[in-house]
Amino acid sequence: MTLDWLKPEIILGTTMYAVIGVAIFWACFVIVDKLTPFKLWEEIVEHKNVALAIVVGAMCISIGNIVAAAIHG
């Protein structure tokens, strides 16, 4: 059993890809929020719109899968 995954370059590369993935995910979420006719956060939190929360959750999972696939290659 080798500990190749403990090498600094592997840890740094993994951290870099994670930060890039989160940044791309956040940018996509902000773009979708700007494209909708209302503020997503306000509608979900203040108006308790459960249907919108489910749609936004599905959108987050989808964007996360796309970003992960793009990073993975």
Mean pLDDT along residues 58-66: 89
Q: What is the distance between the alpha carbons of residues 27 and 16, in angstroms, rounded to a whole number?
A: 17
Sole residue written with tokens 């956060």: 41
Question: Is pTM, for the whole model, over 0.85?
Answer: no
pLDDT in tens, 28-48: 889 988 998 888 888 999 999
Alpha-helical segments (H) within 1-73: 8-35, 40-45, 50-72
- What average pLDDT is seen over the chain? 86
Those residues with Cβ within 8 angstroms of residue 73's Cβ, 6 or more apart along the chain or in another chain: none
Q: Output the CA torsion 22→48→43→24 (10° steps).
A: 10
**Higher model confidence: residue 71 or residue 18?**
18
Whether residue 3 is predicted with pLDDT greater than 80 in this model: the reply is: no
Structure tokens at 41: 């956060």
